[in-house]
Structure 1
Amino acid sequence: MIPLSVLDLAPIPAGGTAPSALRATLDLARRAEELGYRRYWLAEHHLAPGVASSAPQILIAAVAAATSRIRVGSGAVQTGHWTPLAIVEQFGTLDALYPGRVDLGLGRSGQRRAEAARRAEAARRSDAPPPPPARAAEVVDGLLIPAPFDVARLATSPAFGLHGALLQQPGAESPDFADVVDDIAALLDGSYRTPEGHEAHPTPGEHADVELWILGSSGGQSAQVAGERGLPFAANYHVSPSNVLEAVEAYRAAFKPSATLDEPYVVVSADVVVAPTDDEACVLASPYPLWVHSIRSRLAAIPFPTPEDAAARHWPPEDWDLVADRVDTQFAGSPSTVVSGLETLQRVTGADELLITTITHDHADRVRSYALLAEAWGRG
């Protein structure tokens, strides 16, 4: 069986607090190490009352200090909010403190925001051409590939402009993602030079023993950059399930062997909830649609609701349309049910590793989910 890893957002449950969520992350990281998970990644989310992972670089240090063997890292640094030098110095410091255990995952955030804004503006113009017909959902060798969600819809949210204003300096524009990755790689390996011949040597940072990763949600630039530079690639089935196959195919098609990898290495993420029975898992997962709806309607994850909150929610069709692709591709069930689903995901995508993200209202249920999955996966 291929390795399993953890992606954590430090979720805040309804009635909980950010400090308690961060303590729960440290507890889960210790348990994940004991259970044999390969790596523990922290996401970067901002202005979300239900997510405490807004400063993952700091949280990575805390997780590394609370553990001793498991790899720790970012899933992913939103490169539109940081300069390459800042990223290299931050992760160089982490590597200096916890050598040989740090993963630097990079995401294409600022560029995607600008592209979504342009698409939304084009759609508002009276002379804009009609959008192409949406691709229908399909099942590929047992794996559901849902109809795509149009992320340009998020650009119409009032929070969209506020996020951009607060996360970047006034007038700042995100550079091309390929240039960002190249600058980070050059600062890490000591080869950074400007066209005029000036050098830069970050300390800590230069020659840091960090693993450089690219995360992506489509077959676009992220997959292309990862492949062309011979870097490992993480495809987001849990965020953008409709695009996972094109993402891994584009990465493999673009791959060129490098000093890092001789052949492609793909991680695929999945939303998972495991409980002793299918019925119990479905109850624990029932607040998930409410949580996803808050992200896609207001760009701000709410504190994760209780199953009782979920049971009281009436779902108009237009609200369900916002969340259906992610809810339908969540793996919730007994250990055998979830293992079967994850085996299908691995087989269809050819993943070399699976990245598991689990959110439940009660921390004990989340820890149990990871434990049940690790045990069942090991038996497989």
Structure 2
Amino acid sequence: MTLSILDLAPITSGHTAADALRNAIDLARRAEEYGYRRYWVAEHHFAPGVASSAPAVLIALVAAATRTIRVGSGAVQLGHRTPLSVVEEFGLVDALHPGRIDLGLGRSGQRRAELAAGSSPAGPATGTRADRVVDGLLIPPPFDWSRLAGHPQLVHQASLLQQPGAETPDFAGQVDDVLAFLNGTHRAHAVPGEGADAQVWILGSSGGQSAQVAGERGLPFAANYHVSPSHVLEAVEAYRAAFKPSAELAEPYVIVSADAVVADDEARARKLAEPYALWVRSIRTGAGAIPYPTPEEAAAHTWTAADRELVRDRVDTRFVGTPRAVAERLRVLRRVTGADELLVTTITHDHTDRVRSYELLAEAWDRR
């Protein structure tokens, strides 16, 4: 199977974090049954609608509840962590589940600092419409992240993720330290962690440092279409251009993420997918991901033209529909990006619908 899952352990309206975590474990078990290759969890903080704030803890719970599926992070936010703490945590999980753990690393804090300082391009102002279609794949204009960089609540939250006075180190150096701790070449020894069989991945949303670091160190790379669709092609191109063979990989290896909702018929799938726009709006207005609404709650929201433009790139690049239709569109994504795997995220209000979506997709993908 060349499909994997990225889960946020979504908290839906009317439910609790405990419900979300139990659902995450159930989904991982079902994913293993359906034949998915990996089950990854994201790292999010200060989001009322997301329970995956501590990836290593959730990965340990999921690994203990499954037998064969690979379990990992998509991704640990390395900007406010030390390489030692990350290696120790994942080394501990790997010690009990050897050969099944993926350690995905993301740049996080550096990007925020660059946007705040105005030293990183954020894309055109929201409202600029310049969609491209590349061999059947929609590439929307970039979202302007600079509008959120100085948001008072987000600045405050970022300060809580680090010790007072701490500065985010260079990402490349942090990745090198992680690799050195794992392979035993660091002057200090991480126990557990040293010699762990965890596979290191780099996740990136552009053709910048993350793609460069992954390529130069010969690591597998996860490119982000579901959150940053405008930059996915440049990300995979930059990674492949920088790639150098390593003990880990002889050739580049790419996984590309996608948002999908699948149901037995088109109308049902569209209905299940309706709350997504309101959920994305909550993130992009600085409120943090709200508890995922019901379709009825989403329908009650009054949308302005500015609201719709705010979320348009994310809404337009989802894969929503019948199993056959979504599988075909995902194959376009895989072909255009040259992905070796696809990493699928599905969020619906009802957990049963989410599980069914993954089941239908796996069946349609496997038939081809």
Counterpart for residue 277 of structure 1: 265
- The corresponding residue for 1:187 is 181
1-structure distance, mates of 2:106, 2:121: 25
Sort the Cα spacing of 1:122 and 1:11 in 2 relative to 1 into closer, same or farther, 3 A: closer
Q: Which residue of 2 aligns with 1:351?
A: 339
- The aligned amino acid for 1:147 is P
Give the C-alpha shift of residue 172 in structure 1.
Answer: 0.8
Note the 1:9-28 alignment, pairs <5 A: 9-28=8-27
Q: Distance in 2 between matches of 1:263 and 1:244?
A: 19
Deviation at residue 135 of structure 1 after TM alignment: 7.8
Match of 2:361 in 1: 373
* CA offsets 1:339-379 (integer angstroms, 9 cap, x no match): 11101000100000000000000000000000000000000
Normalising by structure 2, we get a TM-score of 0.97
Secondary structure in 2 aligned to 1:298? coil
The answer to whether the 8 A contact 1:157-1:297 is kept is: no
Deviation at 1:319, TM superposition (A): 1.1
Q: Deviations over 1:262-308 (max 9, x none)?
A: 00000000000000011110000000000000011025100000000
Could you state the TM-score of these two structures normalised by the residue count of structure 1?
0.94
Is 1:144 the counterpart of 2:132? The answer is no
Alpha-carbon distance, 1:242 to partner:
0.4
Structure 2 gap ranges (5+)? none
**Structure 1 residue 42: Cα displacement:** 0.5
Pair 1:214 & 2:202 matched: yes
In 2, the alpha carbon distance for the partners of 1:156 and 1:140 equals 34
Aligned-partner Cα distance in 2 for 1:257–1:121: 29
TM-superposed CA distance for 1:120, in Å, is 8.9
Look up the SS of the partner of 1:356 in the other structure: strand
| Structure 1 residue 134, shift from structure 2 partner | 5.8
- 1:235-314 maps to which residues of 2 (within 5 A)? 235-314=223-302
- Structure 2 residue identity aligned to 1:216: G
Q: Distance in 1 between matches of 2:61 and 2:366?
A: 28
> Equivalent of 2:147, from 148, 153, 174?
153
- Partner of residue 164, structure 1: 158
The aligned counterpart of 1:196 is none
Quick one: which amino acid aligns to residue 75 of structure 2? A
Which residue pairs with 2:105 in the alignment? Answer: 106
1:363 aligned partner: 351
Residue type of the alignment partner of 2:73: S
Structure 2 CA distance for partners of 1:338 and 1:165, relative to 1, 3 Å: same
RMSD: 1.8
Alignment correspondent of 1:127: none
Q: Does the Cα contact within 8 Å between 2:115 and 2:121 map onto a contact in 1?
A: no
Going from structure 1 to structure 2, the CA distance change for 1:317 and 1:134 (only over 3 Å counts) comes to: closer
After superposing on structure 2, the runs of 4+ consecutive aligned residues of structure 1 that deviate more than 4 Å are 120-123
Q: d(CA) in 2 for partners of 1:231 and 1:122? A: 26
Distance 1:306 1:135, change over 3 A: closer
The DSSP-based 3-state class of the residue aligned with 1:200 is coil
C-alpha separation in 1, matches of 2:287 and 2:328: 32
- Superposed CA deviations along residues 229-268 of structure 1, whole A, max 9, x for unmatched, are 0000000000100000000000000000000000000000
Alignment size in residue pairs: 367
Alpha-carbon distance in structure 2 between the residues aligned to 1:166 and 1:5: 32
1:165 shift after superposition: 1.1
CA distance in 2, matches of 1:11, 1:220: 29
Superposed displacement of residue 157, structure 1: 2.1
Q: Is 1:326 aligned to residue 320 of structure 2?
A: no
Which string of whole-angstrom CA distances, capped at 9 and with x for unpartnered residues, describes residues 93-114 of structure 1?
Answer: 0100111110000000010110
AA partner of residue 111 (structure 1)? Q
